Amino acid sequence: MFVDVNDEEDDEHDTWIKEELIAFVKANPNLYARKTGRDMLAKIFAKTIWWNIGCVARRSKCQQEELPGGVLALTPEDRECENFFSLTHSRTADGRYMVRLPVVDPLPDLKGTRSSALRALAHMKRRFARDDKLKQLYVEFMRQYEELGHMTPVAPEDKTKRRVSYLPHHGVMREASTSTKLRIVFNGSTSLPSGDSLNKCLRVGPNLLPNLADVLLWWRRWRYVLAADMEKMYRQILVHPDDRDLQRIFWRYKIEDEMQEYLLNTVTYGLTCAPFLAMRSVQQLAEDEKKLFPLAAIALLIDRYMDDVLSGADTLEKALALRHQLSEFCMAGGFPLRKWSANEESLLTDVPAEHRMQRELCSWRPQESHAILGLQWHPCLDSFSFATKTSLVTFFTKRSVLSLTARLFDPLGWLAPVVVSAKILFQATWLRGLDWDDPLSETDALQWKTYQAELPLLEQIRVPRRIYPGARGLGVELHGFADASEKAYAAVVYLRAQAQDGSWLVTLLAAKTK
């Protein structure tokens, strides 16, 4: 496959196509709810991405194929959930969003979850007795939760309310995190003997999460890029007071303290509706504030994956304006942006040190990197790399080699030759007819041992982030290849783009193997 396009810089077109995309997103809030929706939006993303970088055949706006219109097919439940949000969400005086939980009607009696919540807390207390670090982090987490107003004690007169549910909670350590080493998960799936649970009584809502590969690919087009994290995204969204009794927990800071019931006042990870409520609230912010912050509204709709904002511009001035707009825009909805990073230091000079990923700008070194949607990004080099986990497999079984293969996170297929080698090895292992925990043959185990030993070499690979070196209007080509054998088949797409000096740069875009 080969596509050759000569594009002209057209800011008017950029504005037009983005307006079309935003209109489509707002008309179809459940873009990713179903495969048909994802396929439809993928076509729009393909049009906008490749049109904007000169890679989809484009003649003029009047010749452009008609963009898909109308509302995507919603399931009845998704339609109810969307309508419910539209009718019940509100904003507080300081701009924060307040939402209702999409509870089914009638709601069964969930008071029986009380005993499960008490048992879970007793289990955590036993873990605390064995792990002082866990105890310290847990207490600090809960204390901050209360100090921020994200949970409040239940008043004595409210303890006998009928519409009540209790959430067990436990801690999950996140050693790789640069900020939160412990996350406490509130479990809304705990079932009663009847089979009822809070999560079964909540509408999930449409899946509004974009495809991760789309977000990464879109981010590669800009000359200057920014990345930031929406701090405590879920917890910045308030739950309506009438629904907070469905989010009760038990907690006490010391063993000698009296057991206390608390209300969780914000959207809680652990509830099935939480992703929808969070994503939909941010979409609503883009709709509400788009006139004041047009650049930021576009970025929040198409340059974001959950709480990660990845955006940019082709000039330093536009990138700086975008960064300022993003900060003000997100704060207008109560979503502070933290962990700022950029491929140009001057974009971050006025960002407080505590809000940057790297506190000292002068400390930038080529080897410094941080995680961006599961990949390692080196701002100084403006390139991606891969991290391989160090835990070694010493006893090779089907289960252990499958786990070994799954360690490679490669959303765009840049490691396709390595991944397909593992797939071929695993296929051969599978054909032996072994059970999951049976030891592999000496020959197979040796092949996997060699494969494992070579994985750290992947950390030396650097993939340039930017895929388009020249100004729009220069030559751009897409080259696609596909091939197959008895063992596997693969497809790969490259971008060939002309730079200002007339030279050509070839960049790997994406690959897929099976």
Q: What is the pLDDT of residue 176?
A: 61
Element (H, E) at 141: helix 132-147
Q: Choose the most confident range, by mean pLDDT, from 172-176, 210-214, 256-260, 316-320.
A: 316-320
- Identify the domain boundary among 225, 250, 275: 275
**Considering the domain boundaries, does residue 136 fall inside one?**
yes
The answer to whether position 300 is within a domain reads no
Tell which of 275, 306, 327 closes a domain.
Answer: 275
Helices assigned H by DSSP within 192-336: 212-219, 274-289, 294-302, 316-332
- Within a domain: residue 509? yes
Of the chain, the percentage scoring pLDDT greater than 70 comes to 81
Rg (CA), the chain: 25
217, 247, 275 - which closes a domain:
275
Asked whether residue 52 is assigned to any structural domain, the reply reads no
- Position 432 in a domain: yes
110/252 same-domain check: yes
Indicate whether 248 and 102 sit together in one domain.
Answer: yes
User: Which residues does 207 contact at the CB level (< 8 Å), separation at least 6?
Assistant: 30, 32, 33, 275, 276
Is residue 42 pLDDT above 80, yes or no? no
Residues 271 and 408 in one domain: no
- What is the span of the domain harbouring residue 178? 77-208+233-275
Which CATH number belongs to the domain containing residue 165 in this structure?
A: 3.10.10.10
pLDDT at 27: 53
**Cα maximum dimension of the chain:** 77
The pLDDT tens digits of the residues spanning 141-157 come to: 999 999 999 999 998 87
Note whether 265 and 408 are same-domain residues.
no
Residue 68, exposed/middle/buried by CB under 10 A (0-12, 13-18, 19+)? middle
Q: What span, in angstroms and rounded, lies between the C-alpha atoms of 413 and 137? A: 37
Q: Is the pLDDT of residue 394 over 90?
A: no
Report the pLDDT averaged over residues 346-350.
92
Q: Is it the case that residue 45 has pLDDT exceeding 80?
A: no
> Is 461 within the bounds of a domain?
yes
Assess contact for 419 and 410: CB atoms under 8 A: yes
DSSP-derived pairing of the beta strands 238-239 and 97-99: parallel
Average pLDDT value for residue range 2-18? 47
pLDDT digits (tens, 9 = 90+) for 402-444: 888 888 889 999 999 999 999 999 998 888 888 999 999 999 9
Which has the closest alpha carbon to 510: 443, 430, 432, 419? 419
Residue 248 falls inside a structural domain: yes
224 within some domain: no
106 & 241 share domain? yes
The count of structural domains within the chain is 2
Q: Report if pTM > 0.95.
A: no
Mean pLDDT calculated for residue range 167-177: 82
